[in-house]
Structure formats: C-alpha cells, structure tokens
Amino acid sequence: FPTRRSSHLLHPKAAALASQAARPERVRVCLDVTSAALYCYQQWRRAPAQSAFSSIEQSACMGEAALASLGVRLASGLPTLALVGDWGQCMVPSELHSAVELGLDRYVVVVWANGGGAFIGAGVAQQGLQVPEAAWRWRKPPSFARVAEGLGAKGVVASDVPTLRR
C-alpha cells in the first residue's frame, strides 16, 4: 500500500475489500496490530474454510502476524496472507527471508504502509501528549517492495485495486 504522503492513495476500505475478493476459498489470514486490521474487521466476510488469526484484542505486539503467518503456512499447507503494519514489518524482515529460503509459495505478506505509527499517533492525540510527529511518523518511509526484493521475494507496490487483487 502506498504511504499517506504518496500521490496515489488506495483508500483503506477499498484495500480491505480488494484483499477479501482476492483471497482463495481456503486460506489462512494473520492480522497484525495495525489500523489495517480495523478496516478488515469491519469489511471482511469470511467463508467457513477461511481461518483468521489476530491477537489485536489481547496483548498484541507489532509484527506478530508476520511471525504467526510463517508457522500457520508451514503447519496448514494452505495459502496464507499476513497483513502487517509498516512499523511491524520493519521488525521482522527475517521471517520473509525464511519464507524465501523455504521456497514457500502461496504465502503473501501485505504491508499496510500509511506513513508509520497510525495507532501511536492516535494514542498520542487521545492522551493529549505533546510528542512531535517526527517521533512516530517517518519523513520518508522504507520502500517495502525493494526490501522484499532484497530478501529474494517479489515486491509489488499496490496503489490501485486491480494491482492489489493480483
């Protein structure tokens, strides 16, 4: 997903619906602690054969979906989608490298890149804290597609619904 500062934005609701439409009948999904999960909770409808893992309600930590999804993919043998926040993905690139090393197919990591720290920013605002935005938002976020390619995976930037569905 492009960052908020990008000139080509994909609305989070449209992204959630596009990712739902692209999921196969039998799939495992792991949702990270990210604003993306909230959109997916609101928009997604799951078929009985589509299982989801999320710890957002209970002591969750950023990047956890990337960790869980690798195990879920290996254990189930089913296509697996990990929806990870941008800050969370920066914490766990080794998981993507492990998937490449293991030659896993049907394993997709979608990085919800909204400029970094959406949840942190909401918490700062809610608590009325005087924290500079530079402390929780990047000036120039990483190119996650390039990071993926550097780890041996295919990296794609989806700034429209057809690209995301592919």
Report d(CA 26, CA 39) in Å as an integer.
Answer: 21
Mean pLDDT for 99-113 is 91
Q: Residue 48 has what pLDDT?
A: 74
**Pick from 88, 100, 86: which is nearest to 142 by CA?**
86
Report d(CA 162, CA 18) in Å as an integer.
Answer: 8
To the nearest 10°, the Cα dihedral for 133, 136, 139, 143?
-160
pLDDT digits (tens, 9 = 90+) for 25-41: 889 998 888 877 888 88
| pLDDT band with cut points at 50, 70 and 90 for residue 3 | very low
Q: Residue 5 has what pLDDT?
A: 44
Average pLDDT, whole number, for the chain? Answer: 84
pLDDT digits (tens, 9 = 90+) for 9-24: 678 888 888 888 888 8
Mean pLDDT for 86-115 is 89
> Residue 134 has which token pair?
């530079």
| pLDDT band with cut points at 50, 70 and 90 for residue 147 | very high
